[in-house]
Amino acid sequence: MRVGHGFDAHRLVEGRPFVLGGVRIPFERGPLGHSDGDALAHALADAILGACALGDLGAHFPDTDPRWKDADSLELLAACAELARGAGYAIGNVDVTVVVQAPRLAPHLAAIRSRLAETLRIDPANVSVKAKSSEGMGYTGDGTGIAAYAVALLERSNGA
Ligand code: MG
């Protein structure tokens, strides 16, 4: 078994859709980024790559490459899961914590879990997504940005 950890943060600005875990959530601001800025997807992709010691998302999908401009980050996440499978690993379970003051994420967590499970091709029971506020402190608390932390457990597969 191998464990991987990932972190990501994006600035929240006006004029950008708020996309998290592939789910579009109504809000007046959204993550700034070369791709769609999906911090959850990026942290989770890094956790999966990290478990395989395959570098990070930026190494595989550089933000200097116009191909990934406004990219759907779930496609990047799916590609990272494929890299892990190619390296001989099956994704066991993943756990993500998102830190943001607003919008309220609780009503969207089930949809996010379902999208992630579909993207990773694992059972939704093996996908956990939690939302926290930082109680008004720091960049996640004052509305400047959003952060996500993820861990992934991968297991050597038998060529499956
Ligand atoms: Mg990112």
| CA 9 / ligand 1 centre spacing (Å) | 6
Answer whether residue 159 shows pLDDT above 60.
no
pLDDT in tens, 50-93: 999 999 999 999 888 888 888 899 999 999 999 999 999 999 99
Domain hosting residue 144, numbered range:
2-156
With bands split at pLDDT 50, 70 and 90, how would you rate the model's confidence at 31? Answer: very high
Could you tell me the distance, in angstroms and rounded to a whole number, from the CA of residue 106 to the centre of ligand 1? Answer: 22
pTM above threshold 0.85: yes
Q: 117-130 pLDDT, tens per residue?
A: 999 999 999 999 99
Calpha distance 120→145 (Å, rounded): 26
Residue 28's domain is classified under what CATH number? 3.30.1330.50
141 membership: H or E segment, kind and range: helix 138-141
148 C-alpha vs ligand 1 centroid, how far in Å? 9
- Write down the pLDDT at residue 70: 83
Split into its structural domains, the chain has a count of 1
Interval between CA 160 and ligand 1 midpoint (Å) = 30
